[in-house]
Amino acid sequence: MDRIYLFHGFMGTAQSHFAQQISIWQDAFEVIPMDLPGHGSNPLDAPRPYFSSALSWIMDVIAVHGRGHLVGLSLGASLAIHVAVKNPGLCQSIVLTGYSPFIPDELEPLMRQQYEQFQRIERENPQVVHEFLTLHGTRWKNTLMAVLDDMTFHYPRVDDQAVKNLRVPTLVLNGSQEAYERHAASYLADIGNPLLQVGLIPGAGHVANRQKPAIYNTVVQDFWASLPVMD
């Protein structure tokens, strides 16, 4: 039975971001929903620097449980592709959604504006704070700032050569309604790695697997079915 690791996005959990995949896949696969450090049920608090520490933790966990298909959303997608770059032997395949290998220059001011808005979230959006508190407990703000600092000021880019050298079957499946993610999918396709496939889900945005789960699940399962059978 193939193994699937699920890596959620920023301030989510595996269950909150992948509920509509877990329920479909759990009968046919060994599904391992992974709450990232500082999130959900993970007992580890958010480290600093966040991304590199979370990446090391993920690789350690996979090394214990065994290689599998890595499925990531947003932050989780960045982590999944970096696992594939650093240790391809841990990956049967990777599926990336809500993903771009870089932040376009024109979006950097928006990222900084978003960073400043999150600094004021307790005053301006108490409903979201309540959700974060429910999901992550009192450590929610430490988690939020640790991840934001890295993803705003030290975005984990993947350069063209790294994409070209990827030796892991890869599916990038973004939503059609996010302009920069449409561009990212096209950009990645043009790099020309034969192991990399890209697609856009019509009518979906950044969290396409949640917004159009039936389409997403079908495309991902077809992708897996097309892969060579591994011993």
Residues 13-23 pLDDT 10s: 999 999 999 99
Average pLDDT value for residue range 171-191: 96
How far, in Å, CA of 12 to CA of 3, rounded? 22
Q: What is the average pLDDT value for the chain, to the nearest integer?
A: 97
Q: Can you give the residue ranges of every domain in the chain?
A: 3-101+157-225
Architecture of domain 3-101+157-225: 3-Layer(aba) Sandwich (3.40)
Quote the Cα angle for 145-57-128, to 5°: 30
Q: pLDDT (tens digit, 9 = 90+) per residue, 100-122?
A: 999 988 888 988 999 999 999 99
What spatial distance separates the first Cα and last Cα of the chain, rounded to whole Å? 11
